[in-house]
Amino acid sequence: MNLLKRLFVSLLGLVLFTCGNPQRQNVSKAKVNIVSNNVNIDYTDTGSGDTTLLFVHGWAINKTYWADQVKHFGSRYRVITIDLPGYGQSDKNREEFNTRAFGADVKNVINQLKLKKVVLIGHSMAGDIILQGAIDAPENVIALVGVDNFKSAGVAPTGDTSKAKKEYAEAIAAMKKNFKKFAFEWFNQLLFFKTTSKAIRERILNDVAHTDSTVAIKSLAWDDFNEGDQLLKAKKMLYLINSDYQPTDTTGLSAKKIPFKLFKVHATGHFPMVEKPDEFNKQLDKVMADLKKR
């Protein structure tokens, strides 16, 4: 279970561990209509090059949160940002909004845009999504970049799982009863940091308030997606660009011999790409430099 879901249930006192060559930027290209599981996926497509950076947003937000990264990297790489089905400008006329369904969407984006050397970059809940996408499209994906996620990947679960599931169900019930109230408390208490600006807080909370609550709740459904096992299955280099407001426990990754590198963005909340975009971009530049050496 990823960090976002663990923070979600912690509101009820739960502690759960399951969890490029330079190119011109605006190269003219024909817009491909991407359809996945009968749902249209909205996206941006900037720049060109052998390597593609494919950005996937987190829970209750959208592709616009990558605007600073598009600007920074679009002159050197092909940069794709997508709205997951049910979010942003993508359609939502389907029933499945879980890790495996979203992972299939990532694979379909890769296939329909004919992408070959793809670095998948996923924020928050999208860490598991890009991992599933890499498993589904192994020949196309060259690396994974998690953004403030995989913070205890590979660490063995502790405590009573049945109790955890019960408390999780109670949290979902509370969200169904008053989505906005519960979500706002969650973000304000656990996802923002003291340095998170008022403007960014207001932007995020506005997007949360206007997200489709049915889709958002389905996206948080309990699953048994084991990040450690799935990372072993994917066999991809894992880069982590994590905020340090919550520590990252890498003991599970090391124990399972999963190749990884951790880069930290200091003193931000859960959204480093918008809270400190320049620092975030520097860390992602380091990721790309390391990839070139491999």
Tell me phi and psi for residue 8, to 5 degrees: -55, -50
As a whole number of angstroms, the distance between CA 51 and CA 74 comes to 11
Total count of domains within the chain = 1
Closest CA to 35 of 108, 129, 116, 92: 108
Higher local confidence (pLDDT), 38 or 13: 38
State both tokens at 288: 């790309």
Host domain of residue 171: 3-292
How far is the C-alpha of 16 from the C-alpha of 291, rounded, in Å?
A: 33
Q: What is the pLDDT of residues 264-275, one digit of tens each?
A: 999 999 999 999
Q: What is the pTM of this model?
A: 0.91
Interval 207-242: pLDDT, tens: 999 999 999 999 998 888 999 999 999 999 999 999
Q: Within 66-160, where are the H helices? A: 67-73, 99-112, 126-136
In the three-class reduction of DSSP (H, G, I as helix; E, B as strand; rest coil), residue 208 is classed as helix
pLDDT surpassing 80 at residue 2 = no
Q: What is the pLDDT of residues 24-83, one digit of tens each?
A: 444 446 789 999 999 999 999 999 999 999 999 999 999 999 999 999 999 999 999 999
Domain of 88: which CATH number?
A: 3.40.50.1820
pLDDT at residue 163, rounded to an integer: 83
